[in-house]
Amino acid sequence: MFPYSRIILSKIIFLFALVLISGCIKNSTPAKDMMLFDFENETDLDRFAWKCRGRFELSSAHKNTGSRSLRFQFHPTSKVGFSTGDVPQDWSIYKSFDFWVYNPSPATMPIYVRVNRRSPSGEFIHLISKNLMIGPGENAISISLKNEEDLGNNPGHLQKVEGFFLYMQDIQAITVLYFDSFKMTKGEA
């Protein structure tokens, strides 16, 4: 009788371990999105490099999530905006780079987004360069990181991202836009 009880006990332990492992697997779903900047506190502002002729501040107006947005005032000049290198280096695991813009003007505004990496010689290489038209009101922007047309000859280099630069150019009058929710969306690969 002793050998049978040992076999039964080992089967019970095996089934118990199987139930525990399957429970852990079902509950361990990875997060899909990575919030880069939500402008909920002043420290987000310290993570950007600001081009001259631009004024910025946190604002409680025109926010997408949370209680604040970034109010950016573009002054007349040939090129003005903001950039950051404080982002994950490997973007290849994400489906898209997303952000939200509010345009208080009745006119559509062009903005430009560049996602960069550095060559071995130190010069910037534009992995993604997009010209976007920001219509009046709320605009949800999603830049595909899987679309070969957007990536050109650079799809493999999304593992070496240095940062992004968002700007306007050839501005004739002071222009204000509100930004919020810069994030990476994982989605399905």
Residue 154: what pLDDT?
A: 57
Q: Where are the alpha helices (DSSP H) in the chain?
A: 2-27, 43-46, 148-151
Same domain, 6 and 43: no
Same domain, 23 and 97: no
Number of domains in the chain: 2
Cβ count near 72 (within 10 Å): 24
Same domain, 25 and 36: no
State the residue range of the domain holding 163: 32-185
Same domain, 164 and 94: yes
Same domain, 75 and 165: yes
Residue 105 has pLDDT above 90, yes or no: yes
Residue 156: what pLDDT?
A: 61
pLDDT cut 90: percent of the chain above it: 32
Same domain, 8 and 49: no
Q: What is the pLDDT of residues 21-59, one digit of tens each?
A: 544 444 444 557 889 989 998 888 888 777 666 688 889
